[in-house]
Amino acid sequence: MRRITRITTVGIASAALALSATACGKSSTDSGSSSSSSAGATKVAIAYDIGGRGDQSFNDAAYAGLKQAEDDLGVKGSEAEPSAGEGDADKVQRLTALARAGNNPVIGVGFAYAPAIEKVAKQFPKTTFGLIDDTSKTGPNIANLVFNEEQGSYLAGVAAAKASKTGTVGFIGGVEVPLIKKFEAGFTQGVKATNPKAKVLTQYLTQPPNFDGFSKPDLGKAAAQGQLDKGADVIYAAAGLAGSGAIEATAKAGKWAIGVDSDQYNQKGLAAYKDHILTSVTKNVQGAVYNLIKSVKDGKPQSGEVRYGLATDGVGLATSNPTYSSMTEMVAAVDQAKKDIVDGKITVKTAP
């Protein structure tokens, strides 16, 4: 797998040349050309969100899908990292470079890629672009890969309410944007439905256009400590790499953390804290990336909204921690809530 770091060259042509040299070892292909290299292997690429690969969460889940596609489908994958404080123009350059290099599909990991994908997709009509977590920008060659995060978060709220001994739990959002508000809404609704007297402490780390709340663990750590000091004994953070800081603080205090996006109990970078990661709200980003790549390779590329919800295990609650399974009353409550959501008896809010 080829990993491109910090594509921030000035000018699209320069970006394409840099990618060609770094990722392919040969000149890039023309717009609309075949996605296969001279060796005959399909070339695919993902451009990471804030925090990049190694966030133990969202980006790593996307990487897992790319790796699975390499192993199962024989494709050649490339990765491109974001730069601190970058704007839409940087993303346009990155995506353009990836598309010109003959990658198909090109996948933008996160809603921040929406404006750039809308622009670049028009320039490369024969290339499929995957846009994760956003439906605001559409096109005939754009696949909007989205999830019912609120449903998984509702289950986390049920689990938190059942596991809490103090009746106070916490929610930490990385950046206060509509996507993360979905996590908050579902979590709070699940907590309150399970224990109406419970208190939910809510804090967002940053406000747009400052997206440090997705990338700086110290921010998550400080926020979690503040909630712990106020009596929270279960904390759920939807904050990307910053969430690892929240997990660290919560674990060191001997309280329960709830992870997000990936099964964070099994993330090597969080192994020191795994015994205090009760569960994680999972999003099948890995499956979404893999499915899109496979659809293109099969000649039937996905396009439009492709939604992953609780009914299809597109979102869910991880059960890797043995302690989770041993808490039978909590598990029963979560299982019942899942059934009621899937059956339509519970409608989960998408905004607080």
pLDDT at 38 over 80: no
Looking at residue 12, what is its pLDDT?
Answer: 29
Q: Can you give the pLDDT at residue 17?
A: 29
Which one has a higher pLDDT value, 37 or 202?
A: 202
| Residue-level pLDDT at 9 | 29
118 vs 273: CA distance, rounded Å: 40
CA–CA distance, 260 with 250 (Å, rounded to integer): 14
Tokens matching residue 165 = 């001994």
Count CB neighbours of 305 within 10 A. Answer: 12
Q: Is the pLDDT of residue 88 over 80?
A: yes
> Is it the case that residue 41 has pLDDT exceeding 80?
no
Both tokens assigned to 341: 């959501």
Give the pLDDT of residue 2: 60
pLDDT digits (tens, 9 = 90+) for 214-237: 999 999 999 999 999 999 999 999
What are the b/e assignments for 125-143, b being 16+ CB within 10 Å?
eebbbbbbbbbebbbebbb
Mean pLDDT across the chain: 89
Per-residue DSSP letters for 184-244?
HHHHHHHHHHH-TT-EEEEEEEE-TT--GGGT-HHHHHHHHHHHHHTT--EEEEE-TTHHH
What pLDDT digit, counting tens, does each position of 108-137 carry? 999 999 999 999 999 999 999 999 999 999
Instruction: Name which of 25-34, 67-76, 222-231, 280-289 the model is least confident about.
Output: 25-34
What tokens does 126 get? 């024969």
Give the mean model confidence (pLDDT) for residues 315-334. 97
